[in-house]
Amino acid sequence: MPIVSIEPATAERWNDLENLFGPTGAYGHCWCTFFRRRAKDYTESTTCERPRRGSDNKQELRRLTLDGRVPGLIAYDEEGPCGWVSVAPRGDYVRLARSRTLRPADPAEPGVWALVCFWLPPRRRRRGLGSRLLDGAIEYARAQGARVLEAYPVDTAGGRAPSAEVYAGTVEMFRRAGFTLVDHHTSERTIARLELKQE
């Protein structure tokens, strides 16, 4: 079923996001906060006993929307919410700044946004929805004044990989969207970057 629209995840759309992520909060009670929280806080939330498991992560994501911030975009088809992409100013993702493998060469570089995660329910995968979400993220970042969109895809060498391993998207997906692939300055990771011309 084709995507009808891609919308900012605002407080008014929280119920849609909650229903999309389901009781496990997408990837193992993450609630798409892995890059937004310090390692200690994230680990405590995802390893605590049920039913509290992941509750702090969920509340963190909810708080962002209540504060008027947009942590990402929700895709909708005719049946309702069907996909998610986490895209925001790079500074919102505290884990990137502390990461040995993804730490930016210039943390103060202005106008850089980051795309760190996609989530599609299992029955929606392998239908091109990820590429549509990527297009929506590019358009949204540009509309918000971003100068560069950065991402951290996985190189599957043209093959397939388990969904949990390619939550950040694939190198080929970003290459097709016009991103330039650059080597990271401190590791073997590849960074995908797209210069966003303001329209």
- Reported as a single tens digit per residue, the pLDDT across 172-199 is 999 999 999 987 666 667 899 999 976 6
| Tens-place pLDDT, residues 133-146 | 999 999 999 999 99
pTM: 0.89
Enumerate domains of the chain plus CATH numbers.
5-195 (3.40.630.30)
pLDDT beyond 90 at 68: yes
Token pair belonging to 40: 């200690």
The answer to whether the Cα torsion of 140, 138, 88, 72 is positive or negative is positive
pLDDT beyond 80 at 103: yes
The torsion angles phi and psi of 81, rounded to 5 degrees, stand at: -65, 135
**pLDDT score for 184:** 67
The answer to whether the Cα torsion of 96, 102, 103, 106 is positive or negative is negative
* CA separation for the pair 180, 37 (Å, rounded): 28
